[in-house]
Structures are given as C-alpha cells and as structure tokens.
Amino acid sequence: MALNLIKLCVGCDSVEDLEEWISFRLDERRRAGEPVEQYHTTRMTPTRGAELLDGGSLYWVIKGNVQCRQQLLEIRPFVDEQGISRCKLVLDPKVIRTDWQPRRAFQGWRYLKAEDAPADLGAGRAGLAEMPAKLRQELADLGLL
C-alpha cells in the first residue's frame, strides 16, 4: 500500500482555486523558459520517500476538509540561497477530487496511510465535483458529504 502526505492548502478557498493557481504557475514557467512542472516546496524532506513514490499522493486540506489529491512524482531535496535545507515535492498537475474528509488545522505536512485516505470521487458520484464549492461546503458542514 502506498503512503501519502497530507497538507493544508493555504490561500485556496476551493479546488477550483487550486486548479487555477496550478495552471497560472505552469504558464509562468512556460513563458520563462523553465521546466514546465508543478511542485510544492516544503521545509522538511520526507524520510519515507521510497514509500511515497510508490504510488503515493499529496492530499490537500481546503477549508477544513480533505477535498483533492495530486500524485507525487518526485522528491527533490535542495539547499536554498540562505543555506536552509528544503524539499520540492514534484506533483502531477492533474488534481483528483476526493470524498470530503474533515481535518483540523496543523502545520507542515503529515504522513497519511492509504487506509486513512479518502476515496476518489468515482464515476457514480462525479456530479459532486460539479456542485458549486459553497453548496459542497454547506452540505459538508451539515455532515451530508
């Protein structure tokens, strides 16, 4: 079973916001002649990298709920200009919506076992992804999602 990461998606109010941000950043890199890849920079490098790269994903917590995930493609440790160790989590830019799963706020990222991760929205429930974010949030707050 793959191991995953979970992280707060700070600054995004919805999955649509995250998708727009990813698209914007990829376009910026394309225009700048940089490699067109999506990554998230973190302070800590996961020690269980091999497990994460064996099919793992980064699950995003948006507005108090896990709402989506992106597959982890690579983990790149590096040292920044100030001499601080950091890590780039290279992600598939495709955002996969999941069942909503409530999560309290936390700092950094955490490991997430496959059995504790929310399921992807399947074909029979794809209509949930089309529902406006505000309505999804209200239904989640009522415990209906």
Domain boundaries, the chain: 3-141
- The residues of the chain scoring below 70 in pLDDT are 1, 122-131, 133, 136-137, 140, 143-145
Q: Give kind and range of the element (H or E) at residue 41.
A: strand 38-42
Q: Identify the pLDDT of residue 121.
A: 84
**Torsion sign, CA atoms 73, 78, 81, 83:** positive
Q: Identify the pLDDT of residue 91.
A: 98
Amino acid at 86: R
Q: Identify the pLDDT of residue 135.
A: 73
d(CA 95, CA 38): 11
pLDDT tens-digit profile of 47-63?
A: 999 999 999 999 999 99
Q: What tokens appear for 29 in the block? A: 């890199």
Q: Identify the pLDDT of residue 130.
A: 67
